[in-house]
């Protein structure tokens, strides 16, 4: 367990809205996804989502909201609430949560933990507790099948490290800053959540600075070399090649000084030194096209950084996705990227759904509805099977392409993205 502390806002979902607390139905935000995105963009280190639903319909609606949240935030999310079956854990993890939180104040949570840890891995499981008696009674179960503890409104938090040696997040309704600081100083506590830090207008960066002033090491991107170890150019800068983490497309070239490097580590947003303006430059600060750090790698001579990023919008000020779009020499090769092709076709299908086009076969399918789409997926699957029985592999190519197109129509209709599929395959 490292010594970095995290500021972790929480969202309580009730009937599609964000409310203030477990037992306080006052609406904090009508748009839950927008609130989550604001937390992510404003400096939060992680996000906790609690589903307060009491029936299956509201529970499924909350899961859908979690899926939408996972697509817009750039920080880890853990989530729980209304979990009584293995299937509930599966839904939360498939929605994009880093961990599912089992409620150990309910017998169902205790009974379920071993089963789900063995299926999904203990690193995917957290438990919520609201008293130390339960921690003492279940410490062996927690040690064997859980990777994180979420304490709700508990005191004397130093006890947690002695019992489990597991990272602990504290969710509290206190509004006293001094109490928040006391919690963060406790051994075993990795972060604080609750009412104080879940204000939509909370200044995460200012609060982290206050924490640093009282010797609380706040979360930042951990790095293995100091800026002083880099080989800099004549201007005292290091060039940074920026690459999209999904497609490997090279987006741009920029430069960092020590301040920009430190600010990148602190915020998780790519920050450069503008040579023209001679000042710090947070990429996307004016356009909204932020670059969120996925990895930073130094080359063999320590004089160039390769940054893999999650690019919001486009990288180039011209509106191009990448700054490298002006042909100079072409040797006539095919640089088709399979992931880009799949995403491009998916985006076209999605655009047809959002902006119908007269005469479009895709719109014909959407207009006919889910039963027609499913019928076509079934027909194309059958034709693929028949083609595979024939000796000519060319037929498989054509039929598989037809099948994948109709499968993507189904994906769009049901709100499943290629990112969802890729994440699932990676997890497997």
Tens digits of residue pLDDT in 375-405: 999 999 999 999 999 888 888 999 999 999 9
Predicted confidence (pLDDT) at residue 158 exceeds the cutoff of 70:
no
pLDDT of residue 338: 77
Q: Work out the average pLDDT over 70-97.
A: 93
Q: Which residues contact 374 (CB under 8 A, 6 or more apart)?
A: 410
| Lowest-pLDDT choice from 42-46, 155-159, 345-349 | 155-159
pLDDT of residue 335: 65
Tens digits of residue pLDDT in 49-72: 999 998 999 999 999 999 999 988
What one-character-per-residue DSSP string does 151-217 give?
A: EES-S-TTHHHHHH---EEEEE----HHHHHHHHHSTTEEEEEETTT--TT--HHHHHHHHHHTT--
Q: What are phi and psi of 167, to 5 degrees?
A: -60, 140
Predicted confidence (pLDDT) at residue 164 exceeds the cutoff of 70:
no
Contact 43, 60 (CB under 8 A): no
pLDDT of residue 157: 53
- Structural domains of the chain, ranges and CATH numbers in brackets: 6-213 (3.20.20.70), 227-311 (3.10.20.810), 338-427 (1.10.287.1080)
Q: Which residues, in sequence order, are bridge partners of residue 109?
A: none
* Average pLDDT for the chain: 91
- The whole-model pTM stands at 0.76
Q: Work out the average pLDDT over 168-189.
A: 92
**109: which 2 tokens?**
């949570």
Q: Give Cα 426 to chain centroid, integer Å.
A: 15
């Amino acid at each position: 367990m490292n010594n970095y502390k995290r500021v972790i806002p929480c969202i309580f979902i009730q009937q599609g809205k964000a409310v203030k607390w477990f037992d306080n139905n006052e609406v904090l935000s009508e748009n839950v996804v927008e609130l989550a995105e604001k937390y992510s963009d404003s400096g939060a280190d992680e996000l906790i989502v609690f589903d307060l639903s009491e029936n299956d319909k509201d529970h499924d609606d909350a899961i859908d909201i979690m899926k939408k949240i996972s697509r817009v935030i750039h920080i880890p999310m853990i989530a729980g609430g209304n979990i009584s079956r293995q299937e509930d854990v599966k839904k939360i993890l498939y929605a994009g949560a880093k961990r599912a939180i089992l409620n150990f104040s309910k017998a169902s949570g205790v009974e379920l933990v071993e089963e789900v840890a063995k299926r999904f891995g203990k690193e995917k499981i957290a438990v919520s507790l609201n008293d130390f008696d339960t921690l003492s009674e279940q410490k062996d179960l927690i040690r064997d099948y859980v990777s994180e503890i979420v304490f709700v409104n508990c005191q004397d938090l130093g006890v947690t490290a002695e019992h489990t040696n597991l990272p602990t997040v504290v969710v509290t309704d206190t509004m006293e800053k001094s109490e928040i600081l006391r919690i963060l100083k406790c051994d075993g506590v990795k972060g604080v959540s609750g009412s104080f830090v879940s204000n939509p207008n909370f200044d995460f960066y200012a609060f982290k600075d206050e924490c640093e002033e009282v010797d609380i090491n706040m979360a930042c991107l951990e790095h293995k070399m100091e800026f002083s170890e880099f080989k800099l150019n004549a201007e005292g800068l290091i060039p940074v090649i920026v690459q999209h983490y999904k497609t490997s497309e090279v987006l741009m070239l920029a430069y960092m000084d020590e301040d920009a490097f430190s600010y990148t580590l602190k915020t998780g947003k790519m920050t450069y030194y503008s040579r023209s303006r001679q000042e710090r430059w947070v990429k996307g600060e004016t356009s909204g096209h932020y670059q969120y750090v996925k990895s930073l790698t130094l080359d063999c001579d320590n004089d160039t950084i390769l940054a893999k990023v999650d690019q919001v919008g486009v990288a180039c000020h011209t509106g191009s996705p990448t700054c490298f779009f002006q042909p100079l020499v072409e040797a006539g090769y095919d640089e088709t990227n399979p992931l880009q092709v799949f995403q491009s076709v998916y985006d076209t299908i999605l655009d047809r759904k959002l902006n119908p086009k007269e005469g479009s076969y895709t719109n014909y399918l959407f207009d006919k509805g889910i039963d027609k789409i499913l019928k076509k997926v079934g027909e194309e699957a059958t034709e693929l099977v028949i083609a595979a029985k024939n000796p000519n592999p060319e037929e498989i190519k054509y039929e598989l392409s037809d099948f994948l197109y109709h499968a993507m129509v189904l994906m769009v209709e049901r709100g499943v993205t290629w990112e969802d599929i890729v994440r699932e395959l990676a997890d497997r």
